[in-house]
């Protein structure tokens, strides 16, 4: 099966091992970049990777700081 280009918020929650509500919150706030297609919100795999990378950087800076 081919990896989808865009993920639904429920798929984002599963990928990050977080709750569905938290995934929607992160998408709504812009912490996880998303696109709108009609009335649907979708997230790219790169956006998920960027989010994780930015969280790692923030936590590393807090640990050093």
Residue extents of the structural domains in the chain = 6-64
pTM for the structure as a whole = 0.86
Name beta bridge partners: 6: 44
φ/ψ (deg, to 5) at 56:
-65, -40
From first to last of its 65 residues, what are the pLDDT tens digits of the chain? Answer: 788 899 999 999 999 999 999 999 999 999 999 999 999 999 999 999 999 999 999 999 999 87
Question: Residue 33's closest CA among 21, 48, 19?
Answer: 48
């Amino acid at each position: 099966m081919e990896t989808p280009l865009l993920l639904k918020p429920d798929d984002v929650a599963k990928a990050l091992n977080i709750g569905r509500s938290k995934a929607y919150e992160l998408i709504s706030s812009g912490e996880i970049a998303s696109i709108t297609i009609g009335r649907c919100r979708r997230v790219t795999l790169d956006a998920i990777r960027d989010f994780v990378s930015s969280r790692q950087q923030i936590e590393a800076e807090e640990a050093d700081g």
